[in-house]
């Protein structure tokens, strides 16, 4: 596209000069506001956002995730949405991702941004049976829907199931 061409509302390339009085106007009013995460996120992440399901970016503590968990009904809705879009929603056990011993009851993941041992894939997936300590030091087991999005050594977006 050359500098004297622009795209109109019908996605057609039209010639004109923006500097001329009465000339074509840029179609800024048609622009949609979007976040960086949406612009560069996985297809699965965007499906979640488009359906009002938000993941928490870089949570510092497990308690941040315990405040607003999604339920099994929402999880079934997510699975159905992914299926409608031809996407898989894979599931992994925590010990497949983190350097924890599944046979040791005291082996826990210190925090949501802890380094991972094996990143299973890019995009949205579920981590099952993840051991962690709550604010009182009690060991809990949780399931989480996550998206690594742009991170190689930790998981960036989380939501407790």
At 116-148, the pLDDT tens digits run 988 877 789 999 999 999 989 999 999 999 998
Express as a percent the part of the chain with pLDDT over 70: 75
* Shared-domain flag, residues 9 and 52: no
pTM: 0.75
* Shared-domain flag, residues 152 and 87: yes
CB contact at 8 A, 68 and 158: no
Residue where the block lists tokens 């996605």: 11
* Shared-domain flag, residues 56 and 90: yes
* Shared-domain flag, residues 27 and 94: no
Beta pairing class for 157-160 and 56-57: antiparallel
* Shared-domain flag, residues 100 and 137: yes
And the tokens for 87?
């996407």
* Shared-domain flag, residues 136 and 100: yes
* Shared-domain flag, residues 16 and 92: no
pLDDT in tens, 72-86: 999 999 999 999 999
* Shared-domain flag, residues 74 and 147: yes
* Shared-domain flag, residues 5 and 78: no
């Amino acid at each position: 596209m050359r500098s004297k061409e622009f795209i109109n509302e019908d996605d057609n390339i039209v010639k004109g000069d923006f500097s001329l009085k009465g000339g074509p106007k840029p179609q800024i009013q048609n622009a949609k506001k979007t976040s960086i995460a949406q612009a560069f996120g996985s297809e699965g992440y965007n499906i979640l956002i488009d359906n009002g399901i938000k993941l928490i970016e870089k949570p510092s503590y497990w308690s941040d995730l315990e405040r607003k968990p999604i339920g099994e009904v929402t999880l079934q809705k997510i699975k159905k949405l992914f299926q409608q879009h031809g996407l898989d929603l894979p599931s992994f056990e925590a010990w497949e991702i983190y350097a924890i011993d599944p046979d040791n009851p005291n082996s826990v993941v210190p925090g949501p941004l802890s380094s991972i041992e094996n990143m299973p894939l890019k995009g949205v997936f579920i981590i099952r049976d993840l051991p962690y300590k709550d604010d009182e030091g009690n060991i809990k087991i949780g399931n989480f829907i996550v998206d690594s999005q742009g991170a190689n050594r930790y998981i960036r977006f989380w939501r407790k199931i």
